[in-house]
Structure formats: structure tokens, C-alpha cells
Amino acid sequence: MSNIREVAQLAGVSVATVSRTLQQPELVSLKTRNKVLAAVKQAGYKPNLMAVKFRSGKTHNLVVLVPTIANVFFARVISGMQQVAHERDYSLLLCNTLADQEMEASYAKMVQTSQADGLIQLRAHNPFASLEPASDAVLPMVNACEVLDKTNCPTVVLDNRAAACAMTEHLLSLGHRRIAMIKGPSRSPLTRDRVAGYRDALEAAGIAYQDELLFRGDFTLQSGHKAAAELLAMTNRPTAIFCENDEMAIGAIQCLKQHGVKVPEDMSVAGFDDISFAQYCDPPLTTIAQPAEEFGSTAVSLLIDLLEGRLTKAPKVILPFELIIRTSTGPVRGA
């Protein structure tokens, strides 16, 4: 690899002139510029950007902490991130954390060790928690999708409570009164908000909330299947299931079919996310569409703005959702 000194020598100028020719050509005379450019070409010179980054103290790298890239929703989020990052000349350092705190901390350390300028976390956990001695300084971090309750960093969220409420209202409007919910891990604020929205709607309809109608899943197809099996074992079955994501809904639907329960005739099923498979399942899934790519692009935008000092205070961006009614939900039997 040739360096700037070689080029300078070849062109018969100083290294400063080479640097200027490449960075601020207007400061260099046309004649010298051409000499330098010729030398650059001849030497096959490619500036060592690592040196540039080192010197400038800016890496233009962003760490992305994603719970599971295998989750279709997150894949779309990352896709949105990538686009904006590329446009704004940043790179993404991806980490598939599997929600492991040590893994998260290990990547968060990249920010502290100057390997990245900032970080985006897609889960409700502060990856710096175990590292920082609880400094009050603003962390170079953006929290998106599932956000921490108490945080002073920019966030990008959906109004999960309102979305869950909307879906529950849809089911209520179809006459359902016993509506089960297959939820995510209890600790998650995202799950908590969606359960809250579900309860809001029930309450508004004057229906008592019942703990036994809540089933625990982990956002995988399998867990949806399993939860549905538990639900079918109830003596007093619900007539509708609201799943916290589409994967669990698809898993649940399969289980219902295997038990001869027809969707939506015998049981309505709704999902959340509107992944591409949602409209290709049988029956096509009623769900909540989230602007996945926009989560990613907004998060990256915010982070870059934060890093480049264009953010005075931490904004909280709320992205819109849309209730997508397909045919996996229908009127309650006998309505």
C-alpha cells in the first residue's frame, strides 16, 4: 500500500500539498494539482482512512445492537438503518446480541474504546450500565423499537399502548368478549405497554380483565404454537387471540388448525408487525403495521445528529401504526 509520502515524492511536492489536493483542491494551483493527481494515479494511492479516523477522533462507525436478526421485523429495521447510514457516510457495526447483556456490554465497549462514535440499542436495556460508573453524561446512544422507561437519550417508538388498544377494539367490535393475549417476556416495557392497551380497550368496553387469558411467549413461531396449545386446553376457551407479533400468531394458527379449530370461524387470531409473511399465511393475518424501516432510518438519523452536535435535547419520536384488517379475524361465532 502506497502512502502519502510516496505520492509526494513522485509528484515532487510536499505531503501537505498532496493532502490539500485531495481535501481542499481549491487551495492548490491547477498545475500542481495535476501533477499530484497524476502521481496519485501512478502510485495507485488510496488514502488510509484508518489514519484519518484516528487523527480526527471520529470513526464514522455506529454500533447496532439487535436482539435477533433472525426476526423479520428487525431485519427490516436494519435495512432502514443501512440506507441512511450509507447516505450520511457512516458504517454499521452489527451485533446480534440474542438479548445477552454481556454481549451487549462487549459491543458497547467499542464506543468507549473509540472504535465507534455511537450506538443504537433496539432493546430496553442500557448496554453501558455495567461499564459506566453511572455518569450523568449524555450517552452517544439512541434507543429504538423497545425503549427504556427512564432514559435521557433520543428514542424512536410506536405508541404500543394505543396500537394494542386499537387491535383489541377491533376484536371487541367483532363481538369477541373473551380475548386471549399471547405476550412477550413480562419484564419487557413493550409487552407491558401492549398489555396495558389491551386492558384499556377491555375496560372501556366494560369487560373485566382476566389474568388467565394472558399467555407467555417469546416472539418465536414455536412459542406461539405452544401458547395456543395451552389456550386450547382451557375449559372456557377464548374466542379470539391477540398475539404480540406475527410469528407467534402464525405459530398459533397452525396449532389451532391441527386441533381442528377454524380461523376465523371458531377463533380469530391477530398479530403485530405486518411482516411480509402476514399477508401470505392462511388465512391472511389481521395485524398492526409498523414502519420498520423508518424505525431504523430515524434512529440512525437521530444518532448522527446527536453525534454531530445538532441535537439540543433528546427527542422522543413516535412513529405511526396502522391496523391492517385481513381475514384471520372475524365475527364471533353466533354473533
Partner DNA sequence: TTGAAAGCGCTAACAC
Partner DNA sequence: GTGTTAGCGCTTTCAA
From 14-22, 83-91, 237-245, 250-258, give the range in contact with DNA by CB under 7 A. Answer: 14-22
From 53-61, 158-166, 199-207, 322-330, give the range in contact with DNA by CB under 7 A. Answer: 53-61
**CA 239 to chain centroid:** 32
What is the C-alpha to C-alpha distance for residues 7 and 92, in angstroms, rounded to an integer? 31
Taking the complex as a whole, how short is the minimal distance between the CB of residue 307 and DNA, in angstroms? Answer: 17
Interface with DNA, residue 16, by CB under 7 A:
yes
Angle formed at CA 104 by CA 99 and CA 106, multiple of 5 degrees: 145
Which listed option, DNA, a copy of itself, none, makes contact with residue 34 (CB within 5 to 8 Å by class)?
none
Taking the complex as a whole, how short is the minimal distance between the CB of residue 53 and DNA, in angstroms? Answer: 9
Interface with a copy of itself, residue 83, by CB under 8 A:
yes
Interface with DNA, residue 1, by CB under 7 A:
yes
Q: Which residues of 21-42 are buried (b: 16+ CB within 10 A; e: fewer)?
A: bbeeeeebeeebbebbbebbee
What is the C-alpha to C-alpha distance for residues 253 and 283, in angstroms, rounded to an integer? 9
Among residues 33, 43, 38, which one has the least CA distance to residue 5?
43
**CA 230 to chain centroid:** 30
Beta bridge partners of 180: 241
Sign of CA dihedral 82, 83, 85, 89: positive
Read off the C-alpha cell for 139. Answer: 450517552
With contacts defined by CB under 7 A, how many residues of the chain interact with DNA?
Answer: 28
Interface with DNA, residue 83, by CB under 7 A:
no
Burial of residue 56 (CB within 10 Å: 0-12, 13-18, 19+) is: exposed
Taking the complex as a whole, how short is the minimal distance between the CB of residue 116 and DNA, in angstroms? Answer: 15
Interface with a copy of itself, residue 281, by CB under 8 A:
yes
Pick between residue 43 and residue 202 the one whose CB is nearest to DNA. Answer: 43
Which listed option, DNA, a copy of itself, none, makes contact with residue 16 (CB within 5 to 8 Å by class)?
DNA
Please select the residue that binds a copy of itself; options are 95, 171, 243, 285, rule is CB under 8 A: 95
CA distances from 244 to 76, 83, 127, 247 (A): 17, 27, 25, 9
Interface with a copy of itself, residue 96, by CB under 8 A:
yes
Taking the complex as a whole, how short is the minimal distance between the CB of residue 37 and DNA, in angstroms? Answer: 12
Which listed option, DNA, a copy of itself, none, makes contact with residue 254 (CB within 5 to 8 Å by class)?
a copy of itself
From 22-30, 148-156, 164-172, 218-226, give the range in contact with DNA by CB under 7 A. Answer: 22-30
Q: Which residues of 136-165 are buried (b: 16+ CB within 10 A; e: fewer)?
A: eeebbbbbbbbbbeebebbbbbbebbbbbb
Residue 331: helix, strand or coil by DSSP? coil
Interface with DNA, residue 57, by CB under 7 A:
yes
Read off the C-alpha cell for 33. Answer: 494539482
Residues near a copy of itself (CB under 8 A) are 1, 44, 46-51, 53-54, 57, 59, 61, 64, 68-70, 72, 75-76, 78-79, 82-83, 86, 91-96, 103, 106, 109-110, 112-115, 133, 220-221, 225, 247, 250-251, 253-254, 257, 276-277, 280-282
Residues near DNA (CB under 7 A) are 1, 3-5, 12-17, 19-20, 22-23, 27-29, 31-33, 47-48, 51-52, 54-57
